[in-house]
Amino acid sequence: MIEVLRKIVQAVNDADDLAQALELIVHEVRAAMQTEVCTVYLRDRGSQRLVFRATEGLNKDKVGAFSLGIDEGLVGWVASRGEMLNLDDAMAHPSFQLVPGLGEESFNTFMGAPIIHQRDLLGVLVVQQSDTRRFSDAEEAFLITISAQLAAIIAHAEVTGAALAIDAPSQDVSRIQGVAGSPGVGIGQAVFVSPTADLGAVPSRQAVNRRQEIRAFRSALARVRDDIAVVAENLREELSAEDHALFGVYLSILDDSALGGEVAALIKSGEWAQGALSQVMIKHIRHFERMEHSYLRERAVDVRDLGTRVLTYLQDDAETRSDWPEHTILVAEEITASALGEIPRERLVGVVSLRGSANSHAAIVARGMGVPAVMGAADLPYNRLGDRMLVVDGYSGRIYVNPSQQVLERFQALMEQDLALTEELAGLRGELCQTLDGKRIPLWVNTGIIEDLAGAIEQGAEGVGLYRTEVGFLLRDRFPSEEEQRQLYREQLETFAPAPVTMRTLDIGGDKSLPYFPIQEDNPFLGWRGIRVTLDHPEIFLAQVRAMLKANEGLGNLRILLPMISAVEEADESLALIRRCHEEVLAEGYEQPLPPVGVMIEVPSAVWLTGALANRVDFLSVGSNDLTQYLLAVDRNNARVAELYHGLHPAVLGALQQIVDAAHLEGCSVSICGEMAGDPRAVPLLLAMGFDQLSMSAINLPRVKKVINSLTMADANELLAELIGVHSSHAVIRLAENLIERKGLDRYVRLNRDNR
């Protein structure tokens, strides 16, 4: 069964559009189940009716021309209940309804399965036959399995097909939903950056100069031929004549009379070389993969290998892109810090990542840079986007492909409003951050790259609550030396002096893997991460801390922060290493007291150890991004569970209050540096809980200050009191938003943007 399923899913995946995919589904499912009829009904979003969309066995003339109400007939029964129906005598069922002209009269056995994607009913898959026998349990299981698998493909085909329908760029059809990653709106041209030498990730693009593209292709081909000839020669002695002859076959795949000719023809018709190569190779790879014979099926691997080799040479030869459009929207399967760094900042107006979620590190970097971002946009037909125009709405997480004039005007107006708000908020820069009744609360910023600092200072930040040192490590191709680190840290400390700069020791693992120190794990967020890595590699930890201490010479504004502490031993060991470094640098002639050392509370075990940890260190900082993911068991990087990730979950709020109380009992100051600190809805609650500082992305600082400066502590305390006995995140969010609205602050917070 798995083999049949694989084949069907593969075939459907290869379809050019939804209509072709549905044709394939009914054809293949009917053949696999050996039934007389297979039909797909899809729910129409506008009319909410179930439209007869594809059939094998019934009257094809009715395709697209006939529909049922959502609870009409047996199909409606399946759709409205979201349940399977298996009948040996369909006509005897009370919901049975004969539709004249469909040709169903002689089929008395009926089985229908709902097609559901992420709780959303897409349609119904039906099989019918004329002999009066009930479909077996195994057939029932097959239909359920196939409809569950096809649901995702149909949903994807519906969205991508609509998004690419240039002739119908209405607001609804061209919209793709992802997860809001970084606030703001960006309008510009999509530029897809693909991982190197991945045939499946090459975008289709017009050739700028066809002759040049043909030449590049021929030269890459010649180099691959030479490589293979060398390998063949080296193996001449070791292989039998028969096996050796395979190299000849292998080479002939690239001949002009075979795939090479096809690629060249596609380039001549206007496609660029990489796109032509990828399209031709993928078509043939899929063809081989679908073959019955296992030997032939395995040849798909050879074809892929050949294609990848040619692509590698093509990509090596391609100049690094220097012609970024004036308004570039960077699209990538997974956005990396180095990809963000490649584009001139003034040209980058938006970011779209197919993977990841709101609190992925890529989103946090985009927020740090003040670039609107949408994450987890898995349905975006990225390799067919060309250089199309996109609108990235970083507030609601939506992307508009080929936006209509009307959509464009709406978003241009929003951008103007944003600009006006930014200018208005800039007036707050010189003001202290304090509530209307005088409670001061220092606002700090999170940084990662030096460029963040200018913006942070401009926004009036009073310190750096979290400097993510790993970003400096991610942008290199090897570990930075102690001296290189010292210079980097010195720049950070100097730029902000005398204000404090909290430097976190290297926090890699999870979704932050260094290209030169890869960590492969099944469960990386529960694996070798943060302090666990650096305690296992004291040489890395010691070099980093020494670099920090040396950088602090004569400035004295360094604070050291330890990530991912889950046990007191980790804190004790780290402190011992830090003291050792301190002694070493003193012995080298540096003069300075031991800087304050703190730990992050971001793992549930640390919540219950807050008192013990507070006793050992000088300050605590809550990492609410990780704390939320670990308390709720929701991967912060997975868009599929983004709906379940709530910093304002009552369990998270309970933990935060517990941390603040335990820290203060030990006389230890406690700040929060997760993204929650920059969420204006959460801020009154954090104030009421008693956090001593809030540290956030610079982009959020002005509006957080606006909120704090417009409230009294009584307002904040009242909101916190209202939450007693509230057990749902949605209820908490409603109450928090009510306060923002009552105070007339919603225009700074953009609460209702989801309704656009």
Q: 673 vs 736, which CB is nearer to ligand PEP? A: 673
Q: With contacts defined by CB under 6 A, how many residues of the chain interact with ligand PEP?
A: 11
Residues paired with 54 in a beta bridge: 40
Which residue number is nearest to ligand PEP in terms of Cβ?
623
Q: How far is the CB of 642 from ligand PEP (least distance, A)?
A: 16
How are beta strands 120-129 and 443-447 bridged, if at all?
A: unpaired
Residue 76 binds which entry of ligand PEP, Mg ion, none, CB below 5-8 Å type-dependent: none
Choices 88-96, 336-344, 425-433, 621-629 (CB under 6 A): range interacting with ligand PEP: 621-629
How far apart are the C-alpha atoms of 513 and 742, rounded to whole Å? 44
Residue in 452, 602, 679, 715 binding ligand PEP, rule: CB under 6 A? 602
CA atoms within 13 A on the CB side of 407: 24
Quote the tokens at residue 514: 């260094």
Residue in 40, 221, 399, 466 binding ligand PEP, rule: CB under 6 A? 466
Active site residue 93: no
Identified catalytic residue from 361, 582, 646, 649: 361
Q: How far is the CB of 666 from Mg ion (least distance, A)?
A: 22
Burial class of residue 152, CB neighbours in 10 A (0-12, 13-18, 19+) = middle
How far apart are the C-alpha atoms of 194 and 385, rounded to whole Å? 13
Q: 136 vs 338, which CB is nearer to ligand PEP? A: 338
Question: Is-contact 567 602, C-beta < 8 A?
Answer: no
Q: How far is the CB of 482 from ligand PEP (least distance, A)?
A: 23
Question: Is-contact 548 560, C-beta < 8 A?
Answer: yes
Q: 104 vs 626, which CB is nearer to ligand PEP? A: 626
510 binds Mg ion (CB under 5 A): no
From 486, 3, 485, 560, select the one nearest 291 (Cα to Cα): 3
Q: How far is the CB of 468 from ligand PEP (least distance, A)?
A: 5
Q: Cis ω on the peptide bond leading into residue 498 (within 30° of 0)?
A: yes
Neighbouring residues of 656: CB distance < 8 A, sequence distance ≥ 6: 622, 624, 672, 686, 689
Q: With contacts defined by CB under 5 A, how many residues of the chain interact with Mg ion?
A: 3
Q: How far is the CB of 737 from Mg ion (least distance, A)?
A: 26
Q: 528 vs 730, which CB is nearer to Mg ion? A: 528
Choices 268-276, 474-482, 624-632, 654-662 (CB under 5 A): range interacting with Mg ion: 624-632
Binding mask of the shown chain, residues 340 to 369, with x at each position contacting ligand PEP by CB under 6 A: ------------------------x-----
Which residue spans within 470-512 are E strands per DSSP?
A: 501-504
Residues paired with 193 in a beta bridge: 332
623 binds ligand PEP (CB under 6 A): yes
Residue in 673, 683, 689, 723 binding ligand PEP, rule: CB under 6 A? 673
Q: How far is CA 161 from the centre of its chain?
A: 21
The alpha carbon torsion through 639, 451, 415, 160 (nearest 10 deg) reads -30
Angle, vertex CA 450, rays to CA 449 and CA 455, nearest 5: 100
Residue 466 binds which entry of ligand PEP, Mg ion, none, CB below 5-8 Å type-dependent: ligand PEP
Identified catalytic residue from 433, 581, 668, 673: 673
Residue in 570, 626, 635, 679 binding ligand PEP, rule: CB under 6 A? 626
Query: Which 498-557 positions form the footprint of ligand PEP (CB under 6 A)?
Result: 507
Residue in 472, 674, 678, 680 binding ligand PEP, rule: CB under 6 A? 674
Q: How far is the CB of 31 from Mg ion (least distance, A)?
A: 51
Q: 279 vs 628, which CB is nearer to ligand PEP? A: 628
How far apart are the C-alpha atoms of 635 and 699, rounded to whole Å? 24
Q: Is the four-CA dihedral 454, 429, 438, 622 of positive or negative sign?
A: negative
626 binds Mg ion (CB under 5 A): yes
Choices 176-184, 221-229, 462-470, 595-603 (CB under 5 A): range interacting with Mg ion: 595-603
* Strand ranges across the sheet with 67-68: 67-68, 50-56, 37-43, 120-129, 109-117, 85-87
Residue in 357, 502, 505, 625 binding ligand PEP, rule: CB under 6 A? 625
Q: How far is the CB of 514 from Mg ion (least distance, A)?
A: 16
Q: How far is the CB of 568 from ligand PEP (least distance, A)?
A: 20
Residue 624 binds which entry of Mg ion, ligand PEP, none, CB below 5-8 Å type-dependent: ligand PEP
How far apart are the C-alpha atoms of 244 and 293, rounded to whole Å? 22
Active site residue 673: yes
Choices 238-246, 390-398, 585-593, 622-630 (CB under 6 A): range interacting with ligand PEP: 622-630
Q: How far is the CB of 466 from ligand PEP (least distance, A)?
A: 6
Q: How far is the CB of 62 from ligand PEP (least distance, A)?
A: 55
Q: 314 vs 506, which CB is nearer to ligand PEP? A: 506
The alpha carbon torsion through 524, 525, 531, 533 (nearest 10 deg) reads 0
Residue 703 binds which entry of ligand PEP, Mg ion, none, CB below 5-8 Å type-dependent: none
Residue matched to tokens 């680190």: 485
Q: 275 vs 674, which CB is nearer to ligand PEP? A: 674
Can you spell out the DSSP letters for 509-533?
BTTB-BTTB----SSGGGSS-THHH
Secondary structure of residue 162 in the 3-state scheme? helix
The alpha carbon torsion through 424, 425, 431, 436 (nearest 10 deg) reads 100
Residue in 356, 448, 509, 623 binding Mg ion, rule: CB under 5 A? 623
Residue type, 54: A
Residues paired with 328 in a beta bridge: 189, 348
Residue 674 binds which entry of ligand PEP, Mg ion, none, CB below 5-8 Å type-dependent: ligand PEP
Binding mask of the shown chain, residues 555 to 594, with x at each position contacting Mg ion by CB under 5 A: ----------------------------------------
Neighbouring residues of 528: CB distance < 8 A, sequence distance ≥ 6: 509, 519, 521, 536
How far apart are the C-alpha atoms of 525 and 508, rounded to whole Å? 10
Residue 333 binds which entry of ligand PEP, Mg ion, none, CB below 5-8 Å type-dependent: none
Q: Which residues bind Mg ion (CB under 5 A)?
A: 602, 623, 626
What residues are labeled active site? Answer: 361, 673
Which chain residues interact with ligand PEP by CB under 6 A?
364, 466, 468, 507, 602, 623-626, 673-674
